[in-house]
Structure 1
């Protein structure tokens, strides 16, 4: 029972931090950036890696998420995309401005680092520039492999919580599913995101399509990840759309 309680608390913390990260993304022009840096003074060091991973998957950009430590530093965890070696990018940045990063380590797809709080703005600017120098337009295009369709009944908390409890990474990517949906309602949100109300096999689902500004046809095939959206204390299923078939 104690383990269940701790797991539930961790899931709530993850969902809260992820929602806060999405809010930060909405406030910045993420599509024009190559490398994304996120920070919230209330974030927990143990969960920033998951936040970076989820946002990276949503916007297909290298992402570093920072949380404060007990002192004057920020601890960061980063996740990258195919074609951009994250640790090498941090090494480039360290050579350009020695001392800006106190310490770092990692590999192509993930890294951890520590910076001083007062260096966050400078690091954010330089990280974007370094990532931009290591990529081209094709690198930032998202090529999607889907794991097939789900029935409407399969899109539930049992599946969502099971997916959230697994460790995904390079070679074991978070599953993406695809179905033909009916679009019942759609509207653009601030930050250039599309909010959707979908129907599948008679059931209705909320969905969000980040960094997408064009309205969809009434009948459309969507690639998506089933996740949780916490709204006013309630956990609600939400489909995070990653692509629409043109």
Structure 2
């Protein structure tokens, strides 16, 4: 993308970081709002409430951090470099550079109108993702625990799925994510483990893997070589390491 629009790679990393921040905030907002309106007699209701409060706290912390970095990003980067340098100078430099890049990404939004548009897109996208979880569960009509799953209850399932996808190995991690999602359905909703596993696998396909064919088609249309990009990315990483040293 950076090569296509003729901008430095660091600018695209900053924009990507900004997009991740909006993603987390939108997901947490939808998750917390849904849990706030869930029935009080729902099983494991205290678990749902703790998860909702936790997600709101994380969202608030991210928002505060973003405001501080936007206002005084240079000072925050310098503070991180000073504090972490005695522990590991390369790590301190890396974190300081990431904070500077994060500030650069925040500067991409120059007005409240642009902020509102980006926030609206993120919210719309995550509402569609949440709806995909609900509709996928409802497809298992022979399993009442899934066929009658409400939007509020599906939010904990979505949170478990996201958590299972954070730290995983390629391909092998898919099975980990299926296991985490199936365990959540079996534990919280009482769904049979067979149906829960099948639903977890289908959710992986619907929310993660279904984009691959379209991505490969557009890569061919844009004449993008995945192997050459992997080589260029590896070289860029080596150059960044040399610069830090």
Q: Which has the higher strand share?
A: 1
Task: Give the structure, 1 or 2, with the largest relative contact order (CA under 8 Å, sep 6 or more).
Answer: 2
Higher percent of residues as helix: 2
TM > 0.5 between the two?
Answer: no
TM-score (norm 2): 0.23
